[in-house]
A and B are shown apart, each in its own frame.
Chain A
Amino acid sequence: MRKEIYKLIHLGTLFFSCLLSAKESDQILIVYSATALQNPVYEQVIKGIERVSSHTQRLEVLSGGVNFQALLDQNHPDRVIGLGKDIVDSIYKTTYRGKTLAGLMYFKPNDYNGVGLALDNRVLVERLSRFLPSINRIFIVQQAHYQTVDYMPSGLNSSPTIEIRQGVDSLDTIRVLGQLLESVSSTDAVLIPANLPTNILYEVAKVGWERKVVLISTNLSHLESGALIAAYPDDVALGEQLGILATRNDPVYESIKSIKFGLNKRVAQHLAIEFTPSVLDEFAIKIK
């Protein structure tokens, strides 16, 4: 009940903010690859965009030999939301670059405007502190050019502390992760890279299992391979975030604010971590 009330308040806030800030005449064009619709995430994100903005239009682009400039000129949108890196890069080559917001891709604030897939560390830490109160340190291991978590030092709680460990490439990242796992304790949590290869993930999970280290991942599939908790974007919320950002006059980069969590109960049992029912309810996915 409390969750539903929270949801209604949230939607109401979004609705009114949209009414206040959006120009009624702004036309938002959502551009995505026709083949991308096979991925349900796209549909969810588009659904979120359309939920907060009534003046939206979908544009499915076939792959290969597409004149984006002509396509966009035909629609003449006030704002473009490109989903997927290839689509965004193509649109950025047209005159609509300044009107375009990127979505469903990892990027740095300096490169594109829009909502990146990297999670907001503050939200992440805030939620993890609720889930895992015994954890003192959270190590975020990621590749320098493939950041799945945006680290923003301001507004962080003192506990648990966050430490970023980066590798220059995937091998270096694995090396950093391996060495880190040799030194952490059971009061530490390690956020492993989302693009960790399966074979390495197996080894990492084995070490984590043996050393009883909490492994967290931003890749939902890692939940089945030994990670305790998987943090992943709320796709509809991501769409809404994109839709709201599109109504703003000065769109900037934002990281994902709404995060879902999954839990591996078998790992939790091994690590002797117990969750209250209210906390358990906050996990969108729970596997045994």
Chain B
Amino acid sequence: MNSISQLDLRQRFNLMILVTIISASCLLIVMMHVFISKYTNNYTNHYWREHAKTFSESALYPVIIGSMTQSEAIVGSFAKDKNVIKASIYNGKNELLASSGEGSMCLNDMDKVLLPNDKEGNEYWCFYSPIIQEQYLGYVELVISKDEYHSVMNRLAVGSVIIIILFSTCIFLIIHRLSSLFTSTLMETARVLKRVSEGERGERVNFYGSREIDIMRTTLNDMLTSIELTETELEKSVEDRTSALRIALESSETANVYKAQIMSMVSHEMKTPLHAIGGYLQLLEERLPVGREFDTSRSIHGKALLRVNDLNRLIDNILLHARLEADRYEVSYNPVEIAPLMNSFIENASQLLNRNNNHFEISGPDGTLVTDAEMLRHIVNNLLSNACKFTTDGIIYLHWRLSQAFLIIEVADTGPGIPVEFRKNIFDPWWQVDMSLGRKHGGHGLGLAITKQFVQRLGGDIAVDSNGHHGTRFTIRIPYSTN
């Protein structure tokens, strides 16, 4: 079966035709042999039966007159035929009058002869014919050899086989030629298509034949030319696009490098004088004398320090964001008691809560899990800070729960909420709902971006939706382990 599958279309077609012709030829030979054998057998039987009848008619007169001499003469004349093994004449009492041979080859019980009667052996036929003239007078027996019959059949069989072989060969050669004409087109088409599919250019089919085949050749070659043109144009287009993308990528990478360098440099160059300004303001505030007339100065110093601290946090956030973007922030996993950790977040945010007269609700189970506590602190503090900032006289909720694989934290508020159309943008860096210079709330749009990056660093995700009719709810899902 494997060897057949290795053959190509033309070889398989030729093999199939060859097998079909051989099968049909064998069937034809068998059928011809059976038919001819049957016909010849019947014909020969009929011939010898008539011969036996003639024999009986010839034997009539000798039998009537009971002449053995004439009977022997008749027997002799019929026994001359080379096919006759034995010719015998019997009278009505089954007494042998004359015979060319000895013994009875066919009938053992002469009393049971029902005439006319024929018997057949492997090598001979026995024909019987009655001798009748007004009444039954006897019978004749002719034993005929089958040698000539077999010889004729053998010659016929050999002749048939030779004729059929010649005929089959001619048919096969004609079909082979025709199949070559038809399959060569397909074979060449398949070859060219294979080459084309392998990327070779300039391959064309070269078969010729009838008008239809010529049309097919022209169409296929035109199609290949068209494909090659299209492919060339496509490659050029891809190359152009790739070049443009490469340039853009290189520009982007260069810009990022510059940005990182600028950010690092600017942050460093900004933090150093900022720390100095903060320190000097701190010293000045401490050296202000106690007295009502210095309250204004003290208030100004306090505001200046507050702004210095805001600027310092901004720079910290910028640096943190830059580190996260540059993938230079390492996650540090440690066992953490979740309930005390969450309570510490609330304590840190108590000043913010009191600023806008908000209430705080906290709930969640206790448990130990392994995570990065610092990252978790950044995440929750940022969300609580935002909630406190945008909610006034409301409630801030902090809930957490442990599912089988995740720590799920929800931070919700009863503030104004985030419009649905902006929810997809709030995690972008430097993006705020109110981007105007005269916006009510402060901030620089890095908090949620940093929060999302932390969540992603911990392998989790963050989602935002409405907290009922008002407010916002952030849901964080962070995978955890217990060891």
Contact = CB atoms under 8 A, between A and B. Distances in A.
Interface of A: 169-171, 174-175, 177-179, 182, 197, 199-200, 203-204
Contacts of B135: 171
Contact of A175 (B57, B66, B134): B66
B134 A199 contact: no
Interface string B102-117: 0000000000000000
Given A169-B134, A178-B65, A200-B61, 16 more contacts: A170-B134, A171-B64, A171-B134, A171-B135, A171-B137, A174-B64, A174-B65, A175-B64, A175-B65, A175-B66, A178-B64, A179-B65, A199-B57, A199-B61, A199-B133, A200-B133
B60 interface: yes
A135 to B, nearest CB: 23
Nearest to A174: B64
Nearest to B57: A199
Contact of A199 (B60, B66, B137): B60
Given A170-B134, A197-B133, A203 B61 contact: yes
Interface size class of B (residues with CB under 8 A): 10 to 19
A182 B137 CA distance: 21
Nearest to A201: B61
Contacts of A179: 65
B134 A178 contact: no
B67 A200 contact: no
B133 A178 contact: no
Contacts of A177: 65
Q: Chain A's interface: helix, strand, loop or mixed, by majority?
A: helix
Contacts of B60: 199-200, 203
Nearest to A181: B65
Given A170-B134, A171-B133, A171-B135, A200 B64 contact: yes
A197 B64 CA distance: 13
B66 to A, nearest CB: 7
Identify the 10 closest CB pairs spanning chains A and B, nearest first. Answer: A178-B65, A203-B61, A174-B64, A175-B65, A175-B64, A179-B65, A200-B61, A171-B64, A171-B134, A170-B134
A200 B60 CA distance: 8
A182 B65 CA distance: 10
A178 B57 contact: no
Interface string B52-79: 0000010011001111000000000000
Contacts of A200: 60-61, 64, 133
A200 B135 CA distance: 14
26 contacts: A169-B134, A170-B134, A171-B64, A171-B133, A171-B135, A171-B137, A174-B61, A174-B65, A174-B133, A175-B64, A175-B65, A177-B65, A178-B61, A178-B64, A178-B65, A178-B67, A179-B65, A182-B67, A197-B133, A199-B57, A199-B61, A200-B60, A200-B61, A200-B64, A200-B133, A203-B61
Contacts of A170: 134
A177 B137 CA distance: 17
B66, B133, B135: most-surrounded residue (chain A CB, <10 A): B133
A139 to B, nearest CB: 15
Contacts of B65: 174-175, 177-179, 182
Contacts of A178: 61, 64-65, 67
Interface in B118-160: 133-135, 137
Nearest to B58: A203
Nearest to B64: A174
Contacts of A203: 60-61
Contacts of B133: 171, 174, 197, 199-200
A182 B64 CA distance: 13
A167 to B, nearest CB: 11
A244 B55 CA distance: 53
A200 B131 CA distance: 13
